[in-house]
Chains A and B, each alone.
Chain A
Amino acid sequence: MGKAHIQEAIEKVVERGDKAFIPYIMAGDPDISQLKEQLLFLEKSGATVVELGIPFSDPVADGPTIQEAGKRALNSGTTVKKVLEALSSFRDEISIPIVLMTYINPLFKYGLSQFFKDSQAAGVDGVIIPDVPLEQRPLIDEHMNRTDIALIQLVTLTSPDHRIKRLAQASEGFLYAVTVTGITGARSAVSENLESFIYSLKKHSNVPVMAGFGISTPEQVKEISSLGDGVIVGSRVVDLLHQGKREEITQLIQAAVGTPASH
C-alpha cells in the first residue's frame, strides 16, 4: 500500500516495455454507488493507477469538463466522508493503486489528521492537492507523519530549474508533469518544448514521471507517454465515461499499456 504500491505499479509496466496510464474520474459522477463498478472497469481495461477526484465547489485548476463532473457529483451528495466510506467497503476487491485528487478546503474542513488517518484505513495510496504548493506543505506534512500515503507534486512548464529540482525530490509515488500552461481540459495541440521539460524531470526525479493535462487522443497518449513513464488523462476520460463510451476509454488506456495479448 501507499507510496511503494504506486511506484511499483508504474515501474512494472515500464519494465515490460510499455507505458503507464492513469485515468482520472470524479467520484460520485453520476453517483457514488457506481464507484466500485467504475474502478473495476478501469482496472480490467489495464489502468495502472486511478486518480479519483473528490468534488469541490470552486475548482480553480480545472477546466469546464471536470467542473461539470464536479457539479454532478456535488448534486448527487458526494462528500469526502462518503468517498472514503465507499472505498473502505470494497477496497480489498480492487488491486490497483488509488490516488485521491481534491482541493485543500474540503480536507481542511474534514480535519487534516483525520483525513489522512481515514484515507490510510480506506486503502488510499496517494493524494494530489493542486492548491497546496511546496511552500504550504508544512500545513499538511505534520498530519501525514504516521501514514504511508504519497503526496504527489505537480511540476509545470512555468517552474524554473531550481523549483523543478525541489519538486522532483519532494514528490512521492510519481511526479506529475503538467504538460500545458493552463487548467485541465482536452486540447488539440500539445506544447512543443515538452520533450526537454520531461527530460529534465526524468533527470532530477527518483520517482516515475507521469505527464498530464490536455491529452485526449490515442495518438497523443502514444506521443507523450513515450517521453516519460506514462500519461494521466482526465477530462477526456470523464467525458467518455459520462457519455457511456467505454470502449474509447479502453483504447486510450491500451495506447499506453498495450493490449493484454501483447504483454
Chain B
Amino acid sequence: MTTYSQPDQNGQYGQFGGRFVPETLMQAVLELQEAYEEAQKDPAFHELLEHYLKDYIGRENPLYFAENLTKHTGGAKIYLKREDLNHTGAHKINNTIGQSLLAVRMGKKKIVAETGAGQHGVATATVCALLNLDCVIFMGEEDIRRQQLNVFRMELLGAKVISVTHGSGTLKDAVNEAMRYWVSNVEDTHYIIGSVLGPHPFPQMVRDFQSVIGKETKQQILDKEQRLPDTIVACIGGGSNAMGMFYPFIEDTEVKLVGVEAAGSGIQTGKHAATLTAGEVGILHGSLMYLLQNEDGQIQEAHSISAGLDYPGVGPEHSYLHETKRVQYTSVTDEEALDALQLMCRKEGIIPALETAHAIHYAVELAKVSPKDEIIVICLSGRGDKDVMTVKSALEGRQNG
C-alpha cells in the first residue's frame, strides 16, 4: 500500500475540504494552522495531552471481547472499543481536550462550540471548567428539547447554553450560529468544532486528536489476537469517531472499514441523514464535501432519531475515502438502531448511544453471515444514558402504534 498523506498543504483531500470561510475568519484559521503545526512538533504539548488523556479522561480504555453478543450472532468475533468509558461518556472529549490545550497555548480565553446530542457540548464545557476558559455552547432548540439532561450538565459545568431557533433547530443551525459568534469574537475566542468538519485545519486536527482511538485499538487487537481485525465498523454523523478509528488503519488494506450513516425513517422517505449514500458534492461550513441539498443548492434538513447524526454533511476526508473506495459507507434506519441498542443492553449490559447503535446493527448483521474465525471491531463511541427518554418514547410509540 502506498503511503496515505492527506490532506495537502491547502487542506484538501483530493477535491474535498479547503477553507471556504468569510475573510474575517481567514486570519484566525491560518493562525490556528500555524499554532497546530507548532504544537505538534513540541514534545511538551504531547506530554501534557498524554497526561490528561490518561489521568483525566481515563485512557487507555478497553477493547472488550463481546462474548455474549458473539454467541448470539453465531458468527464472527465482536470486539467493542469502549469510548463510552471515557470521562463524560463518549469519544468527544479526545478532541476537546486537545483543542482546548491548543487554545490556551494560543492565548485565547473564550471557547465557542456547537452541539447536537450534547455530548460535544458537555465535553467542551468540561475541559473549559478544567482549564478555566469561558464557554458558550450553541444548541438547536429541537435538540435542547430532546437532550435536556445534557443541557443541564453543561450549565452545571459553567457553560452558557444558547438556544438556536433558526432553520430546523438542530446541529446544522447550531454550527451556523457558532460560526457567526466566532466571526464576531474571533480576537479572543477559539471555536472547538465537534467533528471532522469545517475549514482546514479543523478536519485534520480533529482526526488527529481522535486517532488515539484507532492507535489503541490496533495495539490491543494485536495483543489479544496477534492479528488485525477483518472489519472495523463506526457510525457517522460528521464522522469524528469513525475518522479517529479508521485513520491508523487506512494503509492496512486487508482491514475492511465500514462507516454507518443514519437512514432515519428510510432513504426512500427522504427523512434521513445518509449524506454519502444519498447526497451530492457541495460546500458548507467551510468545506467542500458531500451534502444533503435540493436541486437549487439549498441545504436540506437531516433526520435521525439520534441527534448526533442529524447533520446534512459529512467530513471532507470521509468524502474522499468514499470516492477512493477505501472505506465502505452504508446506512441503518432508526428502527434498526433501536433494536440494536436493546440487543446490546440485554446481551452485554451496556447501554450504547443511539448514534453507536447504528454501527452495532450493521456489525451484528455482518457477524451473523461471517465465519467464526473472523474479527469485527465496533467503535462503541458513546454511552446511551442521554438517550433513554428518546428510546422510552420510541418504544412506547411502537407498542401503541
Footprint of B on A, CB under 8 Å?
56-61, 63, 67, 74, 79-81, 104-110, 130-136, 139, 153-160, 163, 167, 178, 181-183
Nearest 6 pairs of A and B residues by beta carbon: A109-B297, A106-B297, A182-B184, A57-B298, A79-B296, A156-B24
Q: Nearest B residue to A182 by beta-carbon distance?
A: B184
On whether A183 and B183 interact (CB within 8 A), knowing A105-B283, A160-B27, the answer reads: yes
User: Whole-angstrom distance between the alpha carbons of A67 and B179 in the complex?
Assistant: 14
- On whether the beta carbons of A60 and B179 are closer than 8 Å, the reply is yes
User: Whole-angstrom distance between the alpha carbons of A58 and B197 in the complex?
Assistant: 15
User: Whole-angstrom distance between the alpha carbons of A87 and B217 in the complex?
Assistant: 59
21 residue pairs bridging A and B, Cβ less than 8 Å apart:
A57-B167, A57-B299, A58-B167, A59-B176, A60-B183, A61-B180, A104-B283, A106-B298, A107-B297, A108-B282, A108-B297, A109-B280, A110-B296, A133-B21, A133-B22, A134-B26, A135-B19, A154-B22, A158-B24, A158-B187, A182-B184
Query: By CB atoms of chain A within 10 A, which of B26, B167, B286 has the most?
Result: B26
- On whether the beta carbons of B183 and A131 are closer than 8 Å, the reply is no
Chain B residues closer than 8 Å to A155, beta-carbon distance: 23
Chain B residues closer than 8 Å to A81, beta-carbon distance: 296
Judge whether B284 is part of the interface by a CB distance below 8 angstroms: yes
Interface of B is mostly: mixed
Q: Nearest A residue to B300 by beta-carbon distance?
A: A57
List 17 additional contacts besides A109-B293, A158-B187; criterion CB under 8 Å. Answer: A56-B297, A58-B176, A59-B176, A60-B179, A79-B296, A80-B296, A105-B282, A105-B291, A106-B296, A106-B297, A107-B297, A109-B280, A132-B20, A154-B22, A159-B27, A163-B27, A181-B186
- On whether the beta carbons of B297 and A80 are closer than 8 Å, the reply is yes
State how many angstroms separate the Cβ of A52 from the closest Cβ of chain B: 17
- On whether the beta carbons of A178 and B10 are closer than 8 Å, the reply is no
User: Whole-angstrom distance between the alpha carbons of A67 and B282 in the complex?
Assistant: 21
Q: In chain B, residues 172-187, which have Cβ atoms closer than 8 Å to a Cβ of chain A?
A: 172, 176, 179-180, 183-187
Judge whether B347 is part of the interface by a CB distance below 8 angstroms: no
- On whether the beta carbons of A58 and B186 are closer than 8 Å, the reply is no
State how many angstroms separate the Cβ of B152 from the closest Cβ of chain A: 27
- On whether the beta carbons of B21 and A182 are closer than 8 Å, the reply is no
- On whether the beta carbons of A156 and B23 are closer than 8 Å, the reply is yes
Query: Which residue of B23, B283, B298 is within 8 Å of A74 (Cβ)?
Result: B298
User: Whole-angstrom distance between the alpha carbons of A252 and B184 in the complex?
Assistant: 25
- On whether the beta carbons of A109 and B296 are closer than 8 Å, the reply is yes
- On whether the beta carbons of A158 and B186 are closer than 8 Å, the reply is yes
Chain A residues closer than 8 Å to B109, beta-carbon distance: none
Q: Nearest A residue to B20 by beta-carbon distance?
A: A131
Judge whether B285 is part of the interface by a CB distance below 8 angstroms: yes
Query: By CB atoms of chain A within 10 A, which of B176, B185, B291 has the most?
Result: B176
Chain A residues closer than 8 Å to B22, beta-carbon distance: 60-61, 130-131, 133, 154, 156
- On whether the beta carbons of B26 and A163 are closer than 8 Å, the reply is yes
Q: Nearest B residue to A80 by beta-carbon distance?
A: B296
Footprint of A on B, CB under 8 Å?
10, 18-28, 166-167, 172, 176, 179-180, 183-187, 280, 282-286, 291, 293, 295-299
User: Whole-angstrom distance between the alpha carbons of A154 and B166 in the complex?
Assistant: 26
On whether A183 and B184 interact (CB within 8 A), knowing A109-B295, A133-B23, the answer reads: yes
Query: By CB atoms of chain B within 10 A, which of A133, A134, A178, A183 has the most?
Result: A133
User: Whole-angstrom distance between the alpha carbons of A75 and B185 in the complex?
Assistant: 31
On whether A105 and B297 interact (CB within 8 A), knowing A61-B22, A136-B20, A159-B23, the answer reads: yes
User: Whole-angstrom distance between the alpha carbons of A156 and B299 in the complex?
Assistant: 27
State how many angstroms separate the Cβ of A67 from the closest Cβ of chain B: 6
State how many angstroms separate the Cβ of B20 from the closest Cβ of chain A: 5
Chain B residues closer than 8 Å to A74, beta-carbon distance: 298
Chain B residues closer than 8 Å to A104, beta-carbon distance: 20, 283
User: Whole-angstrom distance between the alpha carbons of A107 and B25 in the complex?
Assistant: 22
On whether A178 and B295 interact (CB within 8 A), knowing A58-B176, A183-B183, the answer reads: no
- On whether the beta carbons of A60 and B180 are closer than 8 Å, the reply is yes
Chain B residues closer than 8 Å to A139, beta-carbon distance: 18
User: Whole-angstrom distance between the alpha carbons of A134 and B183 in the complex?
Assistant: 17
State how many angstroms separate the Cβ of A234 from the closest Cβ of chain B: 14
On whether A136 and B299 interact (CB within 8 A), knowing A58-B284, A60-B179, A182-B184, the answer reads: no
State how many angstroms separate the Cβ of A89 from the closest Cβ of chain B: 19
Chain A residues closer than 8 Å to B291, beta-carbon distance: 105
Chain B residues closer than 8 Å to A158, beta-carbon distance: 23-28, 186-187
State how many angstroms separate the Cβ of B337 from the closest Cβ of chain A: 27
Query: By CB atoms of chain A within 10 A, which of B24, B183, B286 has the most?
Result: B24
- On whether the beta carbons of B282 and A136 are closer than 8 Å, the reply is no
User: Whole-angstrom distance between the alpha carbons of A63 and B24 in the complex?
Assistant: 14
User: Whole-angstrom distance between the alpha carbons of A60 and B166 in the complex?
Assistant: 12
Q: Nearest A residue to B178 by beta-carbon distance?
A: A60
User: Whole-angstrom distance between the alpha carbons of A153 and B24 in the complex?
Assistant: 12
User: Whole-angstrom distance between the alpha carbons of A178 and B23 in the complex?
Assistant: 9
Query: Which residue of A107, A108, A182 is within 8 Å of B24 (Cβ)?
Result: A182
- On whether the beta carbons of B283 and A181 are closer than 8 Å, the reply is no
